[in-house]
């Protein structure tokens, strides 16, 4: 393996950038990525055949038109247009799977310029040192609100307690070698949570710390509702512990019922009405939660069995 400052022949890097309604930020993103890619090519760290691939996730604004214009002006930019909106994780996967025949390694990042582009250099150095996967990890969360910081860090800790192996403070900013991408392609589940799936691929990995900045322009595509849905998707996709918790709750209900029986016998009839009412609410609420949780898992199993395509590529412009 050659040193981190010299690229071997054929070391083609494809940067994959999922885009959904990013017309406000895309020109600046393209400008900065072009500067970074040209610098890496001129310094011999990557091949001149390297590309930036923007994946249009069914945007209804001018995002796809802008991607096409960038491609026409400069062959550095390629574009993938999905047939309809499939969500961030599917759009990212679509980009990664499409570039496997063309790239020796890839880097995925968001279009909003919050990920530090300069961390790419360190990721590539780790790749030359023999790493197949390099995770971009936030060094701190100073730009987050207290609520977002607390919930995000709480989510990572909860996932760890549930037995899911994810990288703390890592989102989807990462480098993957060709063989790591080929390994990822073996995972066929429809319910995607790439942050948890990719560590399952294995191979040598490392981290690169960076400071995440503010969004350059436009609005966040992850409001609270989507963040909560995404968090539950991760939990349900990677862990069966919530199902086991239902059994534990059942045991707790039995103990509570036994204690209630004793209290009723000791306290007499006067205590009976209150105990019955509270027990009905407690047991009824627990049953509703349990049924809902089981239903979520059954729904996900139903979608997996149907094995519908996770994405459909309508057009891939690349030269």
Mean pLDDT of the 42-46 span: 90
More confident residue, 45 or 298: 45
- Compute CA 261 distance to the chain's CA centroid, rounded to the nearest angstrom: 49
Q: Do 123 and 249 belong to one domain? A: no
249, 191: one domain: no
Q: Which of 67-71, 156-160, 232-236 has the highest mean pLDDT?
A: 67-71
Whether residue 311 is predicted with pLDDT greater than 70 in this model: the reply is yes
108 and 167 inside one domain: yes
- Same structural domain, 199 and 272: no
Candidates 156, 192, 152, 198; CA nearest to 175 is: 198
Residue 74: the pLDDT is: 92
Are 47 and 76 in contact by the 8 Å Cβ rule? The answer is no
102 and 204 fall within a common domain = yes
Residue 228 lies in a domain: no
- Judged on CB neighbours under 10 Å (0-12, 13-18, 19+), 293 is middle
Q: How does the average pLDDT of the chain come out, rounded?
A: 78
pLDDT of residue 301: 72
**CA torsion, ordered 59, 152, 285, 270, to nearest 10 deg:** -150
Q: What is the pLDDT of residue 4?
A: 41
**The pLDDT of residue 97:** 92
**How many domains does the chain fold into?**
2
> Phi and psi (nearest 5°) for 11?
-80, 85
**Lowest-pLDDT range, 208-212, 223-227, 304-308?**
223-227
Instruction: Flag whether pLDDT at 108 surpasses 80.
Output: yes
- The answer to the question of residue 229 being in a domain is no
DSSP annotation of 112 reads: T
Same domain, 157 and 271: no
pLDDT confidence tier of residue 274, bands split at 50, 70 and 90: low
* Residue-wise pLDDT tens digits, 242-255: 666 666 776 676 67
Are 183 and 58 in the same domain?
yes
pLDDT top residue among 271 and 131: 131
- In this structure, the answer to whether residues 62 and 127 fall within a common structural domain is yes
How confident is the model at residue 317, as a pLDDT? 86
* Close Cβ partners of 119 (under 8 Å, ≥ 6 residues apart): 136, 173, 208, 210
- Name the residue among 177, 3, 195, 157 with its Cα closest to residue 96: 177
Say if 227 falls within a structural domain. Answer: no
Quick one: pLDDT at residue 2? 41
Beta bridge mates, 51: 14
**Residue 132, pLDDT score:** 93
User: Is residue 6 situated within a structural domain?
Assistant: no
Query: 194-210 pLDDT, tens per residue?
Result: 777 888 888 898 988 88
Same domain, 69 and 122: yes
138: β partners? 210
**Among positive and negative, which fits the CA dihedral 127, 166, 168, 97?**
positive
Residue at 8 is within a domain: no
Based on the fold, state whether residues 109 and 17 are members of the same structural domain.
yes
For 47-94, the pLDDT digits (tens) are 999 999 999 998 889 999 999 999 999 999 999 999 988 888 889 999
Contacts of 86 (CB under 8 A, 6+ apart): 57, 58, 94, 310, 311
pLDDT (0 to 100) of residue 198: 85
Q: Is residue 4 in some structural domain?
A: no
Q: How far apart are CA 253 and CA 189, in angstroms?
A: 35
DSSP-derived 3-state class of residue 162: coil
* Three-state secondary-structure class, residue 166: coil
- Within 10 angstroms of residue 220's Cβ, the number of other Cβ atoms is 10
Same domain membership, residue 80 and residue 199 = yes
* Per-residue pLDDT band at 6 (split at 50, 70, 90): very low
Q: Give the start-end residues of each E strand in 50-139.
A: 51-56, 77-82, 105-108, 133-138
| Domain-located, residue 231 | no
* 132 is a domain residue: yes
pLDDT at 96: 94
**pLDDT value at position 5?**
41
Of 113, 115, 154, 124, the residue nearest 30 (C-alpha): 113
> Which range marks the domain in which residue 248 is found?
241-306
Q: Which long-range contacts (CB under 8 A, 24 or more apart) does 295-304 make?
A: 296/232, 296/236, 297/236, 297/240, 297/242, 297/243, 300/191, 300/236, 300/237, 303/190, 303/191, 304/189, 304/190, 304/191
Same domain, 27 and 143: yes
pLDDT at res. 19: 92
Residue 33 CA, chain-centre distance (Å), reads: 21
2 vs 176, which has greater pLDDT? 176
Residue 72: give its domain's CATH number: 3.90.550.10
């Amino acid at each position: 393996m050659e040193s981190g400052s010299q690229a071997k022949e054929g070391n083609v890097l494809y940067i994959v950038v999922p885009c959904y309604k990013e017309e406000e930020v895309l020109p600046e993103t393209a400008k900065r990525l072009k500067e970074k890619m040209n610098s890496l090519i001129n310094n011999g760290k990557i091949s001149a055949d390297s590309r930036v691939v923007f994946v249009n996730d069914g945007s209804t604004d001018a995002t796809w038109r802008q991607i096409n214009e960038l491609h026409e002006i400069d062959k550095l930019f390629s574009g993938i247009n999905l047939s309809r909106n499939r969500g961030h994780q599917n759009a990212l996967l679509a980009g990664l799977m499409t570039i496997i025949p063309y790239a020796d390694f890839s880097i995925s990042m968001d279009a909003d310029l919050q990920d530090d582009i300069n961390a790419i250099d360190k990721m590539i150095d780790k790749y030359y040192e023999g790493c197949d996967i390099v995770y971009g990890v936030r060094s701190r969360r100073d730009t987050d609100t207290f609520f977002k910081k607390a919930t995000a860090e709480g989510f990572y800790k909860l996932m760890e307690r549930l037995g899911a192996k994810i990288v703390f403070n890592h989102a989807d900013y990462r480098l993957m070698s060709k063989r790591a991408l080929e390994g990822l392609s073996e995972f066929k589940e429809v319910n995607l949570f790439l942050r948890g799936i990719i560590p399952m691929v294995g191979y040598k990995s490392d981290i690169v710390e960076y400071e995440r900045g503010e969004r350059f322009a436009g609005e966040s595509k992850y409001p609270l509702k989507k963040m909560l849905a995404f968090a539950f998707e991760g939990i349900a996709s990677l862990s069966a512990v919530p199902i086991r918790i239902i059994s534990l709750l059942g045991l707790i209900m039995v103990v509570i019922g036994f204690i209630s029986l004793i209290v009723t016998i000791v306290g007499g009839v006067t205590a009976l009405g209150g105990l019955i009412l509270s027990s009905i609410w407690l047991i009824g609420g627990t049953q509703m939660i349990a049924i809902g949780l089981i239903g979520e898992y059954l729904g996900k199993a139903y979608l997996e069995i149907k094995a519908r395509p996770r994405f459909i590529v309508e057009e891939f412009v690349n030269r």
